[in-house]
């Protein structure tokens, strides 16, 4: 039995606003095991994104408390900014819902990709250019060589999300965190992106945390899942168990609320 790649105990995140203190995440504990895909589901505002931002060290330290955040072989709770930045580039890759906000609009796609290699892996110009082309090919961007000089706005939503994925996996991270990576995309493009993600995962042996509000996506990609509600984990387990036999009323109502196109059932008004 190997130790968990990521281990979080009693994570709490508070924000101070005009209306006083909000507890966005309230005593969350979970593990991520090597090679697995863990999904986090829950309604909007339930604390899914904040949980992961806290783990990645992307929130103001003052609001974040935990008994323990252990990942990539070290204590992430005490890691400094410089150390966290290196971990985020190399050991933990991230993909966000809206790639436009995470790609730099004034730099070419090529520049942004080669930068990853130069900064994190210390590669030369030519080697990182080759790396960038290989990566774009890997995530299915056609004619990658000529597209390196394009800017993000010249790419479609699906293509930008591929570029984001390419950047996130550039350094072959142990952990990939994807926050609603397909929510903004159409179903047929979503299917392409999910296929790429599971392909990369088996190729690199990455563990993945997938935040999604789409229970269908979760059913298709995850091994285990956490259900969040008001900043707390209300249920967790293997996807098969949670879908087939949800223990908590909240989970049950969430599953029951999804209308099915594939069944001959009808909802009674």
Partner 1 sequence: MILARKVPLLELIDLKVHFPVSSGGFLNRRCGIVRAVDGISLRIMPGQTLGLVGESGCGKSTLGRAVVGLAKATSGAVVIRGKNIDNMTTAEKASERRRVQMIFQDPYASLNPRMTIGDIIGEPVMLHGLRSGKAAVEARVKELLELVELSPAYADRYPHEFSGGQRQRVGIARALACEPDLIVCDEPVSALDVSIQAQVMRLMMRLQKDLGLSYLFIAHGLGVVKQISDEIAVMYLGQLVEHGGRQVFQHPRHAYTRALVSAAPIPDPKIERRRKRIILTGDLPNPMNPPSGCRFQTRCPIASDRCRTDPPQMHYAENRHGAACWRTDELDALMPMATSPEPGPTIPVVPQPIADIG
Footprint of partner 1 on this chain (CB under 8 A)? 43-44, 134, 137-140, 142, 156, 158-159, 186-192, 195-196, 199, 213-220, 239-240, 243-244, 253-262, 264, 266-267, 269
CB 63 to ligand ATP: min, Å: 9
Q: Quick one: which of 11, 47, 163, 167 contacts ligand ATP (CB under 6 A)? A: 47
Of 106, 86, 188, 113, nearest to 154 (Cα)? 106
Q: Which is nearer to ligand ATP, 47 or 181 (CB)?
A: 47
Q: Quick one: which of 4, 29, 31, 45 contacts ligand ATP (CB under 6 A)? A: 45
Which position has the token pair 């593990």?
31
CB 263 to partner 1: min, Å: 9
Binding site for Mg ion (CB under 5 A): 49
CB 165 within 8 Å of CB 200: yes
Alpha-helical segments (H) within the chain: 48-55, 81-90, 99-102, 109-116, 125-138, 144-147, 157-169, 187-204, 215-221, 239-244, 249-256
8 binds, among ligand ATP, Mg ion, partner 1, none (CB under 5 to 8 A by kind): none
Helix (H) / strand (E) element for 26: namely: strand 20-32
Stretch that binds ligand ATP, among 15-23, 27-35, 190-198, 235-243 (CB under 6 A): 15-23
Report 159-218 residues binding ligand ATP (CB under 6 A).
213
3-state SS, residue 5: coil
CB proximity list for 143: less than 8 A, separation 6 or greater: none
CB 205 to partner 1: min, Å: 17
Q: Which is nearer to ligand ATP, 48 or 160 (CB)?
A: 48
**Sign of torsion over alpha carbons 178, 217, 204, 233:** positive
CB 169 within 8 Å of CB 135: yes
CB 99 to Mg ion: min, Å: 15
Q: How do 6-17 and 20-32 pair as beta strands?
A: antiparallel
Interaction between residue 64 and ligand ATP (CB under 6 A) = no
Q: Which is nearer to ligand ATP, 35 or 45 (CB)?
A: 45
Q: Which is nearer to partner 1, 122 or 261 (CB)?
A: 261
DSSP type of residue 15: E
- Which parts of this chain interact with ligand ATP (CB under 6 A)? 15, 17, 22, 24, 42, 44-50, 213
């Amino acid at each position: 039995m190997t130790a968990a790649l990521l281990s979080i105990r009693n994570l709490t995140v508070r924000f101070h606003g005009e209306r006083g203190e909000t507890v966005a995440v309230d005593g969350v504990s979970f593990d991520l095991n090597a090679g697995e895909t863990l999904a986090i589901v829950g309604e909007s505002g339930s604390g899914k994104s904040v949980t992961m931002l806290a783990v990645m060290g992307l929130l103001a330290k003052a609001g974040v408390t935990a008994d323990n955040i252990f990942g990539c072989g070290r204590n992430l709770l005490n890691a400094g900014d410089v150390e966290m930045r290196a971990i985020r580039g190399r050991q933990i890759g991230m993909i966000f819902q809206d790639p436009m906000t995470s790609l730099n609009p004034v730099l070419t796609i090529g520049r942004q990709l080669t930068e990853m290699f130069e900064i994190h892996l210390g590669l030369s110009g030519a080697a990182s250019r080759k790396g960038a082309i290989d990566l774009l090919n890997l995530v299915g961007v056609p004619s990658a060589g000529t597209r390196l000089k394009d800017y993000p706005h010249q790419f479609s939503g699906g293509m930008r999300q591929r570029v984001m994925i390419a950047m996130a996996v550039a350094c072959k991270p142990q952990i990939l965190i994807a926050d609603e990576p397909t929510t903004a995309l159409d179903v047929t493009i979503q299917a392409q992106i999910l296929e790429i993600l599971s392909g990369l995962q088996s190729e690199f042996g990455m563990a993945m945390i997938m935040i999604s509000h789409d229970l269908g996506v979760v059913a298709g990609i995850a091994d285990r899942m956490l259900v969040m509600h008001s900043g707390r984990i209300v249920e967790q387990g293997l996807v098969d168990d949670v879908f087939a036999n949800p223990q908590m009323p909240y989970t049950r109502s969430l599953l029951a609320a999804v209308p099915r196109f594939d069944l001959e059932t009808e909802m009674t008004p």
